[in-house]
Amino acid sequence: MRIIIAIDIIDGKCVRLTRGDFDTKKVYNEDPLEIARMLEDNGIKYIHLVDLDGAREKKIINHRTLEKIAGRTGLIIDFGGGIRSDDDVRAAFDSGARQVTAGSIAATDRDLFIRWLLHYGNDSIILGADFRERKISVSGWTETLNIDITDYISDYYEKGVKYTICTDAERDGMLEGPATDVYREILEKTGISLIASGGVSELKDLDELRDIGCEAAIIGKAVYEGRINLKDLRNLC
């Protein structure tokens, strides 16, 4: 199972939120490149770089930060946040992203998402599938749709999606453990490569996610708050 570290960006700074609430913002470093280099020095290979400004403004904002990290590290970067148009996707790839995660647009403009999937390939476009109480959550988790998470991912898997980042919005930043039961259900119903996100707080959580068949797990606050030591992750990377 791949280990991916999240770097969330607001105003060019590395931050973390709780349940996506901007009022809970905590700044961990003024320069995300420093965080990226520190991760790389500790054996991390993959990062999930999230443009929170972009998510709020509904267009890519922090592509320069992406460009800097991609140009000055060897990290493999998945970029998300504010991906709503052809220009946004193109800017992300041109700035050095290896993969791009599209979330809200997949729920609100399926034809556009499928077009990106066909054009760039299913190794490059990741389905962002965020949920609250099993229902799809979009627009920075401010809106919940009456669509079941398992049905949603199953439908897109049949349309050719290979990877999904699946985030339980209620667990994000809470350090209370991941939505293992939901992930198990999805994996039993589909053959999708599931990237678990939200709630990871200790190494035991990673063991559980690996055991049920997750392709990768994203860790954020647990690393920044020292709950999980990067040295402990080195053997897992």
Structure tokens at 102: 């599209």
Q: What is the pLDDT of residue 237?
A: 66
Structure tokens at 23: 């009022």
Mean confidence (pLDDT) of the chain: 95
Question: How far lies 9's CA from each of 18, 181, 214, in Å?
Answer: 14, 30, 26
Q: What is the pLDDT of residue 73?
A: 98
In this structure, which CATH number among 3.20.20.70, 3.40.50.720, 3.40.1360.10, 2.60.40.1230 belongs to the domain 2-234?
3.20.20.70
Instruction: Please identify every residue annotated as catalytic.
Output: 8, 130
Domain boundaries, the chain: 2-234
Strand 163-168 and strand 13-18: the pairing is unpaired
Tens digits of residue pLDDT in 138-193: 887 778 899 999 999 999 999 999 999 999 999 988 889 999 999 999 999 999 99
- How far apart CA 226 and CA 173 sit, in angstroms, is 13
Chain position carrying tokens 């949603």: 152
Q: Is the pLDDT of residue 19 over 90?
A: no
Q: What is the pLDDT of residue 132?
A: 93
